[in-house]
Amino acid sequence: MNPPVHNTRVSRAFFALLRRDLLLAFRRRTELLLPVMFLLVVVSLFPLGIGPEPALLGRIAPGVLWIAALLATVISLESLFRSDFEDGTLEQYVISGHPLTVIVLAKILAHWLVAGLPLVLMSPLLAIWMNLPRPSMGVMVASLALATPILSFIGAIGAGLTVSLRRGGQLLSLLVFPLYVPVLIVATGGIMAAADGLPYGAFLGLLTAGLIASLTLAPFAAAAALKISLS
């Protein structure tokens, strides 16, 4: 097959699948709002539980916001491939002739746009609610923008390995949480460094490197995990 023609077909398949997943997500509005509502509930409970003292809230704000964002991402991961597996669409993807890595990449991007991007957009308001120091708010948004795609990429590998299991959600959490810990440490470290007036560029650089590495490697690993689950 002529390579330009093949590349055009792959690109069309990528954007068609991305559009399909986004349309399905917007039709299921309850699932669409679940990560955002979870984030709002978790962050709102902390001031009620530990008290409204501004200094204390500002100090714990990076960890609270990031842990809430991490948990909100995890609860949406199980549906990444589940519906396609249950109705047989996933098997059709495998035998369609299109690279499975491209299909996986489209689904990961759709997942981030639905579950990750709203968290990034909501973070400034939640940072104000938690009395996060103003100098670190920009770093908070930047860390979420860089690291939430990493969470989706890593989560896609776990979702691919557990998609054929009846109660895969519990195992999925056990698989991805240890891999999320380094991202959590680096992201919160950068925010706290900015709040203390210390250099934070190295933390954002590590997150950028992690994003590039996950973008390069995770689609292949997730595609291999799906093939293992379907075999």
**CA–CA gap between residue 9 and residue 204 (Å, rounded):** 36
* pLDDT attached to residue 3: 58
**CA–CA gap between residue 161 and residue 169 (Å, rounded):** 11
**CA–CA gap between residue 100 and residue 210 (Å, rounded):** 22
User: Token pair 């689904």 is at which residue?
Assistant: 107
| Helix (H/G/I), strand (E/B), else coil: 187 | helix
Q: Domain tally for the chain?
A: 1
**CA–CA gap between residue 76 and residue 63 (Å, rounded):** 20
Q: What H or E segment, with its residue span, contains residue 204?
A: helix 201-230
* pLDDT attached to residue 190: 92
* pLDDT attached to residue 157: 92
Q: Are 153 and 144 contacting, i.e. CB atoms less than 8 angstroms apart? A: no
Q: At what angle do helices 54-75 and 137-162 cross, to 10 degrees?
A: 30
Q: Which domain holds residue 162?
A: 3-230
* pLDDT attached to residue 4: 63
pLDDT tens digit string along 83-107? 888 888 888 888 877 788 999 999 9
On the CB side of 45, CA atoms within 13 Å amount to: 8
* pLDDT attached to residue 14: 86
User: Token pair 């499975």 is at which residue?
Assistant: 100
**CA–CA gap between residue 29 and residue 200 (Å, rounded):** 37
pLDDT < 70 stretches in the chain: 1-6, 31, 168
197: region left, alpha or beta (phi > 0 left; psi from -120 to 50 alpha): left
